[in-house]
């Protein structure tokens, strides 16, 4: 199957009127962007085509020689229940329509129905089929715990199970034409995920990235849609927008949570209708790129507050992935550190240094508010200062010393460690618990444990000796 076909499965048009088949094919491609089309004018060949080709939707006439549409509908429903069937008939009879729905048809349209309504119904059927196929694929992948194209994710350094689940989900939705919403804190690698989605989809066009933060409505429209010559003062020549530049590929819109309300309306129409108007033009163009968006903001909270449109939010979250922050992926820290140090050493022309034993422990107790991007910056900074065989701990100690508690989001309740306790512990007992936990996190390293507690190493040593004496 060719890439850039929409939908991923075939749409079979069945009618004995050749002119109608031709006009419907043109309308589907021009108005609906539907180009994965098969045509059949002999009803006796329908079942053979379905058996031979990857058909997922059939548009079926009722009144045909040889085999009637009603007979074919019953056979398709019986032998291929996973295929959706839409009746497109010249019969405008309620009883006929009700009977077809009862036999298993997805929908019923009269040929004289206005074109927009017909194409809208077909697109809804396609979206429903895509969702069914994706759900099947997601169940299969999670049950078998497989990655069929692990090479696509080779550039994302991780051994985290949560990230593996994200990869499986991306593989399952790779053939979909629906937009994808990538959520996660700044620095977790959302753009890498967008590029992985593009690679998985086998599209032959490019990835075009646009950071929409700070774009006002006019700049947003011009950037995405382009303009014709003379569309506004200074438009001396026509310019193709990012949508057109991404044709056949992927349009990646970063920081989508910062869009103004008027720009949100334009994006919603683009996603709903699949078409747009370049500035200065009264003729629509079809979008031929998959849209992937990303944000570090909580869109659910923003739409509840009224700063982000609910209809756009629900349109975007058809496919949604949440990239976990680095503090929830402790196992990835040593892998990423090794990778970034090697990258920095190659760039700076230095030898990769030996790591101090306490460094992984130190980093495991750091919250990394800047996530993977911050760890990379620390590694490059440390390599730029590195002069001996052993990597200096100073850069990392400074980072740990500046660590702040991750901010509590508005509306969240800060966890209370005493809420589940029927009685409060004594003050000295709390101190002993803190010391024990710090020593556990520092893997017995008193120097690191003292830093976690905010006391000197001699003070910690004194407390440990006293605790040991009390136990004796």
Task: Report the CATH number at residue 265.
Answer: 3.40.50.300
Q: Residue 363 sits in a domain of what CATH number?
A: 1.10.8.60
**277 part of a folded domain:** yes
Same-domain status, 100 and 201 = no
Which CA distances in Å does 207 have to 32, 292, 409, 427?
Answer: 23, 10, 33, 58
In a domain, 50, yes or no: yes
Token reading at 421:
């306790």
As a whole number, the mean pLDDT across the chain is 87
Residues 312, 393: one domain?
Answer: no
**Dihedral (CA of 19, 24, 25, 31) sign:** positive
How far apart CA 391 and CA 331 sit, in angstroms, is: 20
394 and 462 in a common domain: no
Domain assignment present for residue 385? The answer is yes
In a domain, 465, yes or no: yes
84 and 197 assigned to the same domain: no
Residue 462 sits in which domain range? 427-471
**What pLDDT, on the 0 to 100 scale, is given for residue 398?**
79
Same domain, 316 and 333: no
pTM: 0.74
Residue 256 and residue 155 share a domain:
yes
Q: Are 271 and 386 contained in the same domain?
A: no
- Please state the domain count of the chain: 4
Q: pLDDT tens digits, the chain, 472 residues: what are they? A: 445 688 889 999 999 999 999 999 999 988 888 999 999 999 999 999 999 999 999 999 998 988 999 999 999 999 999 999 999 988 888 888 899 999 999 999 998 777 888 888 999 999 899 888 888 888 877 777 788 899 999 999 999 999 999 999 999 888 888 899 999 999 999 999 999 999 999 888 999 999 998 888 889 999 999 998 888 888 888 889 999 999 989 999 999 999 999 999 999 999 988 889 999 888 888 898 999 999 999 999 999 999 999 999 999 988 999 999 999 999 999 999 999 999 999 999 988 888 888 888 888 888 899 999 999 999 999 898 888 788 888 878 877 765 444 544 555 555 666 666 777 777 777 777 788 877 777 777 777 777 777 788 787 777 887 777 777 6
Q: What confidence score (pLDDT) does residue 113 get?
A: 74
Q: Is residue 96 part of a domain?
A: yes
Residues 52 and 166 in one domain: no
Q: Please identify, among 271, 305, 322, the residue that sits at the C-terminal boundary of a domain.
A: 322
What CATH number is given to the structural domain containing 77? 3.40.50.2300
Q: What is the pLDDT of residues 414-442, one digit of tens each?
A: 566 666 677 777 777 777 778 887 777 77
417 within some domain: no
- Residues 68 and 132 both lie in one domain: yes
Cis omega (within 30 of 0) on the bond before 7? yes
Task: Give the angle subtended at the CA of 255 by the CAs of 251 and 261, to the nearest 5°.
Answer: 95
CATH number, residue 452 = 1.10.10
pLDDT tens profile 297-325: 999 999 999 999 999 999 998 899 999 99
pLDDT digits (tens, 9 = 90+) for 130-187: 888 888 888 877 777 788 899 999 999 999 999 999 999 999 888 888 899 999 999 9
Q: Which of 322, 339, 363 represents a domain boundary (last residue)? A: 322
Do residues 343 and 369 both lie within one domain? yes
Q: Does residue 434 fall inside a structural domain?
A: yes
Given the structure tokens 């190659």, which residue do they identify? Answer: 346
Residues 131, 273 within the same domain: no
Query: CA–CA separation, 366 vs 395, rounded Å?
Result: 13
Inside any domain, residue 448? yes
- Choose the final residue of a domain: 297, 322, 347: 322
Same domain? For 108 and 63 the reply is yes
CA distances from 2 to 6, 8, 175, 201 (A): 10, 9, 12, 11
């Amino acid at each position: 199957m060719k890439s850039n076909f929409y939908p991923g499965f075939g749409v079979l048009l069945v009618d004995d009127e050749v002119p109608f088949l031709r006009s419907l094919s043109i309308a589907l491609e021009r108005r609906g962007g539907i180009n994965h089309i098969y045509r059949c004018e002999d009803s006796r060949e329908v079942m053979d085509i379905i058996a031979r080709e990857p058909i997922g939707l059939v548009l079926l006439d009722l009144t045909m020689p040889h085999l009637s549409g009603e007979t074919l509908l019953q056979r398709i429903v019986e032998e291929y229940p996973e295929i959706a069937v839409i009746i497109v008939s010249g019969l405008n009879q309620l009883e006929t329509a009700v009977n077809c729905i009862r036999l298993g048809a997805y929908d019923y349209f009269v040929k004289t129905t206005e074109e927009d309504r017909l194409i809208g119904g077909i697109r809804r059927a396609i979206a429903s089929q895509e969702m069914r196929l994706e759900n099947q694929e997601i169940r299969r992948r999670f049950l078998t715990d497989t990655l069929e194209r692990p090479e696509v994710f080779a550039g994302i350094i991780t051994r985290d199970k949560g990230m593996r689940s994200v990869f499986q989900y991306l593989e399952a939705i790779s053939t979909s034409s629906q937009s994808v919403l990538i959520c996660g804190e700044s620095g977790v690698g959302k753009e890498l995920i967008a590029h992985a989605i593009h690679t998985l989809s086998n599209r032959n066009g490019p990835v075009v990235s646009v950071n929409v933060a700070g774009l006002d409505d006019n700049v947003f429209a011009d950037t995405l849609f382009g303009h014709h010559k003379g569309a506004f003062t200074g438009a001396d020549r026509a310019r193709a927008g990012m949508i057109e530049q991404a044709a056949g590929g992927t349009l990646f819109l970063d920081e989508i949570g910062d869009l103004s309300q008027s720009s949100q309306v334009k994006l919603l129409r683009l996603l709903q209708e699949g078409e747009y108007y370049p500035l200065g033009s009264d003729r629509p163009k079809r979008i031929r790129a998959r849209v992937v968006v990303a944000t570090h903001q909580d869109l659910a909270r923003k739409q509840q507050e009224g700063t982000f449109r609910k209809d756009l939010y629900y349109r975007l979250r058809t496919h949604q992935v949440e990239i976990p922050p680095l503090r929830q992926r402790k196992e990835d820290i040593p892998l990423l550190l090794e990778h970034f140090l090697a990258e920095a050493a190659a760039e700076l022309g230095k030898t990769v240094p030996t790591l101090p034993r306490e460094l992984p422990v130190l980093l495991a107790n750091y919250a990394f508010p800047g996530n993977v991007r911050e760890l990379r910056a620390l590694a490059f900074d440390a390599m730029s200062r590195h002069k001996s065989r052993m990597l200096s701990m100073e850069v990392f100690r400074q980072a740990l010393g500046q660590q702040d508690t991750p901010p509590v989001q508005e509306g969240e309740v800060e966890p209370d460690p005493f809420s589940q306790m029927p009685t409060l512990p004594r003050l000295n007992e709390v101190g002993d618990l803190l010391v024990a936990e710090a020593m556990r996190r520092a893997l017995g390293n008193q120097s690191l444990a003292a830093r976690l507690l905010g006391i000197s190493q001699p003070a910690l040593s004194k407390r440990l000796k006293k605790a040991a004496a009390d136990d004796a």
